[in-house]
Chain A
Amino acid sequence: MSLRNFLLYLALAAWMAGCGGHPFDARVAPGFVEVKEEDPAYDFRAVAPEGVAVAVRSEPLKDAPADVAFWERAVTLRMRELEGYALLGARDVKSADGTAGRELTFGHDQEGKPSVYRIRLFVRGSNLFIIEAGGAKEQMDRFASNVEWMLAQIQLR
């Protein structure tokens, strides 16, 4: 192996390590900070001091190769009937790489205060991507543009 090839592989390995090994790219908006967790429930999570959070995770679909409609129905049932969330809306969305998905918006009172929870679902390759954003309704309105930007920047691979 020549030195040139060695350096090429090294650069590729460094690039992959920089991506954290997750099959997506996410960027942090101003006012947010990424939270690094040792035993993460999320692959990526960024929070604002005002209590607004955006999180991304991917789940392999090898055991349940279902489409977005299935996951949308499953999440809706769970959030409404089991958790008591109010379904405020549902719409089609696209990720930065052009993958089509669905976004559900729920409302729920957390400790007596109305809160908003948004969840986007994408299926790409053999992965299901779950992108969540939530916080107190007042703060979600305030950080709407930042949250929207972060959601739009997520690129799936």
Chain B
Amino acid sequence: MTLKVLACVVLCWLALGCASQRKYASGWDAPSSPAVERAPVPVRAAPTVDVSGPFGLELKADRCIGSMGATIARLRKMVDLARDQRDVVRLNCTLAKLEEVERIERKAGERRSALRGFLLEDDDKAAQELRSVETLERDSARVAAEAQQCAGEELAQAQLENLPAPAARRGAFARNITRLESRVDGIKEQTFRARGRMALLSDTVLSGKAANAGDRGTLGGLTATAKPAAPPTSPNPVANPSARHDPSMLIRTAELTLAVYEVDKNIDAVESAASQVGGYLAMRGDRQIVVRVPRDRFEEALRRIEKLGDVLHRNVAAEDVTDQFVDLEMRLKNAHAVRTRLEALLASASVHDAVEIQKELARVTEEIERFEGKLKLLRDRIAWSTITATFEKLQQQKVRQQALLPFPWMSVIGLSPLLSVPR
């Protein structure tokens, strides 16, 4: 009995041991045991693509077409950037190149379809089709290079920077990059302006020396001698090249408030004083007169006018418009360059493109006229100082606190109460 029981135990143990071995063999997880270390899982190697053989030709063709797709994506970004920057010339150029690459890609797709047809039938023809696809890919690369050339370094760089960012660039890093890029753009803009200003100043210094050596009667191109008031032709500081870069880009204005006494006579006298210094009448009202005088005789005119009456208030201001002037000049220069390029494009454009270019030309021309008008106005305001003489009481609220004293009799002095009819 004992032996039977022992044999049963041995048999059961053997049976369990076999079962566990089968479990391992069938791929079940082995029970975790501190004594037994699991073998490291081998890293799965990247699949190697066999490009030899008939299907390898198809794969090569697919790669070529994929490359063209990437090129098209890049060109589309360049087009978008050019559109954002409202750069017509670049936009037209990159659009043309994009269309060309898309056409090449369509051809490559047709060649690839043909290649697939020849795969198992005619290896030579399949290889020939692959060569066609590769040639087309080279063509697309060439066109893309041309697009980058015509779009310029700046846009190409921007396009490269705007390529799809890897995951690592996303988040805070990408935001930092964007911030830095905007700062770099700002610094570029400042550098551009500073260079313009430096060039302006250096030219001014040179022209100023020349003017001093030559004619002492001129100031930055403005003739200082008095001339008849009418007609008031603007002594344009920019009409003369030596006066273009006058360092004193100042708009000078003066506002005088004079006491209300002999107003008509004094208004005549103000107009006369302005005429005597070569100025002219800009506006005349019952109690106000505005005159424009050459800026180099501004002080003299002001002195003359101040002597005409009792000046209650005097406000002389000078506004520096160098920044505005430089900006406008740069914008005008750029607009002229764009117009020149558009005209060049128009000469060789198709009918459809010509219509678009004409529209852009009209817009750019309008812009040029606007800039020129602003520049003209600015030059006029620089060349001619404005003096406004007003014969009136000062603003009551402004002086009331100063001039009011707590003595009732002071409110009944003056001509009105003195000459009023008694009740």
Contact = CB atoms under 8 A, between A and B. Distances in A.
A130 B310 contact: no
A87 B261 CA distance: 10
A41 interface: yes
A79 B413 contact: yes
Contacts of B312: 80-81, 84
Interface residues of B, number: 35
A116 B89 CA distance: 73
Contacts of B399: 81-82
Contacts of B25: none
Contacts of B261: 85-86, 88, 106-109, 114
Contacts of A88: 261, 310
Interface in A93-140: 106-110, 112, 114-115, 117, 119, 130, 132-135
B412 interface: yes
A53 B418 contact: yes
A132 B410 contact: no
Interface string B273-310: 00000000000000000000000000000000000011
Contact of B423 (A37, A51, A77, A115): A37
A115 B261 CA distance: 8
A53 B403 contact: no
Interface in A1-52: 35, 37-41, 45, 47, 51
A114 B407 contact: no
Given A77-B403, A78-B410, A80-B310, A108 B415 contact: yes
A37 B420 CA distance: 12
Interface residues of A, number: 43
B355 to A, nearest CB: 65
Contacts of B402: 77, 81
A59 interface: yes
B357 interface: no
B28 interface: no
B422 A35 contact: yes
Nearest to A117: B415
B356 to A, nearest CB: 64
Interface in A50-102: 51, 53, 55, 57, 59, 64, 74-75, 77-88
Contacts of A114: 261-262, 265
B405 interface: yes
Contact of B414 (A39, A47, A57, A79): A79
Given A86-B259, A108-B260, A109-B261, A132 B418 contact: yes
Contact of B410 (A35, A51, A74): A74
A79 B412 CA distance: 11
B417 interface: yes
Given A55-B418, A80-B310, A108 B412 contact: no
A51 B419 contact: yes
Contacts of A59: 407, 409
A130 B409 contact: yes
Contacts of B413: 75, 78-79, 119, 130, 132
B174 interface: no
B200 interface: no
A64 B407 contact: yes
Nearest to A132: B418
A38 B423 contact: yes
A134 B415 CA distance: 6
A75 B265 CA distance: 26
A47 B391 CA distance: 29
B307 to A, nearest CB: 13
Interface string B241-284: 00000000000000000111111110000000000000000000
B214 to A, nearest CB: 46
A81 B141 CA distance: 80
B393 interface: yes
A81 B403 contact: yes
B12 to A, nearest CB: 123
B73 interface: no
A134 to B, nearest CB: 5
Contacts of B410: 74-75, 78
A109 B418 contact: no
B396 interface: yes
B409 A86 contact: no
Contact of B418 (A87, A107, A117): A117
Nearest to A36: B422
Most buried by A among B265, B309, B403, B423: B403
B185 to A, nearest CB: 53
Contacts of B392: 84
B394 interface: yes
A41 B423 contact: no
A67 to B, nearest CB: 15
Contact of B259 (A53, A80, A115, A135): A80
B262 A82 contact: no
B419 A134 contact: yes
A83 B414 contact: yes
Closest 4 CB pairs of A and B: A86-B259, A84-B393, A107-B261, A86-B310
